[in-house]
Every structure is written in structure tokens, then in C-alpha cells.
Structure 1
């Protein structure tokens, strides 16, 4: 299923996990890497691998270190916000494609499983 989303997002230079990070950063910014990892349930290496290209491309900015000298809050740049807005229609199209491929009942089942896993992890 991830391939459906990755294919839709390819013209924007991102993959599904990166799009998800852009959405989360937009929602929670400014947010530290560790907090983003906790909220997205990514381990440190996965988060770094998916976040690095977003920073290199100038879509996500790391702020100056906080009072502890370590935490560098993340936020979207103007370019990152524009990318997120442009890619949103591709994401919606991919969701429609995935729903059509799986069927509404299967999508509902998957969403229920995801909610249950999130509750267990909390």
C-alpha cells in the first residue's frame, strides 16, 4: 500500500513517511526531534533517515538550540509549507486509490487495527 502513496508523491520529491513528518511538524511546530519521534512512533534512526532530506531540501528548519543546548526545534519553512499544500491533493488521490483497491470494509478494519495499536503503545 505504501507504494501507492510513494508513487503519488514522487513528483514532489518525497515519500509517504516524509509527507507524514511534514504534516506532523506543521501541526506541532516547533517540536524537538525526540518529541517528534515519540509522537510519530519512529525510532531515532528511522526519524533521522526520513527527516534529513527534508532539512537538506530546505523544507524543514532546525531552530537554535534551546536552553539545554541540545534540543533544536523543528518547523516547516515557507517552502516546506508550500510543498505540503501542493502534495496534499496527491495524498488524497492516493487515499482514494488505496480505498478503491482495498474496499471500504478493509480500510475500516485497518483503521481500527491502527487505533488499537496506538492505544496499546500509549
Structure 2
């Protein structure tokens, strides 16, 4: 069966999200990194020492999903944690192996970016990105 055009904004965006995730995961496969892991590695490379809560907020992820992904990355020895002032709090940073894995994945991610841009030719991707970000901002402001 072919994909259905859904009359629901949420359903349509979820369909698109799954397609884009699959495309990026396929491109990143040689590095062993999934796009969800890549986003976390990249975030920690720019902002080492973030807590789980800070990462969840920055990535707009629920903490349970983030915690599962952090465990996988931690078990792979790509990240390490140190305790915070509150013993339950953890600060995360890339390990040397995580930095190497990220460096291996970046060119593959750039290739996925290029593939996405080619598939979306005729669409103003800067405008699309800005529109999606506005939705994220408005949605997270409503929660605060």
C-alpha cells in the first residue's frame, strides 16, 4: 500500500519525521550512530557538562526517551557522566571515543543534509526550518 495523505497535521508531520529519520539513519549507518544519538553527541560537543534535564529541554525530548538513548550511548562509551551537586543529577560529556565517532558521522550527516535538500528542491528550506522552530518555540513557551 502506498503512503496515505493524512488529513491531520500531526499525522502528516509524524509521517514526514519517520521518513526523514530513516533517511538520516541510513546515511549514518556506516558510523554506527543513529540520528537521535548524533543529535546528542553534537549537542554535548558544543555544550559539555549539560544535565539530562538541560538536554531534554534543548532537544525538546521527554526525559524517559532521552534517558534510554543516553544509556545506549553511555554503554557504547561515547559519553561519560559526573555527579552534580545533587547526587541524582548527572553532567554529561563526550569521551575521546565519542568525539571520534562524531567526527566520523559528520560527513555522513552532511551527505544526508544534501540528500534531503535535493529531495526538497523547490522548497525554501530556510523558511521551513524557521517555521518548524517557531512551532517548537510557541509550544515550549506555552508549557513554561
State TM-score, norm by structure 1: 0.91
The CA deviation at 1:3 is: 1.2
* Residue equivalent to 1:115: 133
Q: For 1:89, which of 97, 103, 107 is the aligned residue?
A: 107
The CA distance in 2 between the partners of 1:117 and 1:82, in whole Å, is 34
* Residue equivalent to 1:58: 77
1:74 to 1:105, Cα distance in 2 relative to 1, 3 A: same
RMSD: 1.4
Unaligned runs of 5+ in 1: none
Match runs of 1:1-122 below 5 Å:
1-63=20-82, 65-120=83-138, 121-122=140-141
Q: Deviations over 1:56-84 (max 9, x none)?
A: 00001011x22221111100000101111
Q: Deviations over 1:29-88 (max 9, x none)?
A: 11111111111111011101222211000001011x222211111000001011111110
What stretches of structure 1 move > 6 A for 4+ residues in a row?
A: none
How many residues get paired?
A: 121
The CA deviation at 1:109 is: 3.9
The CA deviation at 1:21 is: 0.6
State TM-score, norm by structure 2: 0.78
Q: Tell me: higher relative CO, structure 1 or 2? Use CA pairs within 8 A at least 6 residues apart.
A: 1
Q: Compare CA radii of gyration and give the structure with the larger one.
A: 2
1:110 to 1:50, Cα distance in 2 relative to 1, 3 A: farther
SS at 2:84 equivalent = coil
SS at 2:123 equivalent = helix
The CA deviation at 1:106 is: 4.7
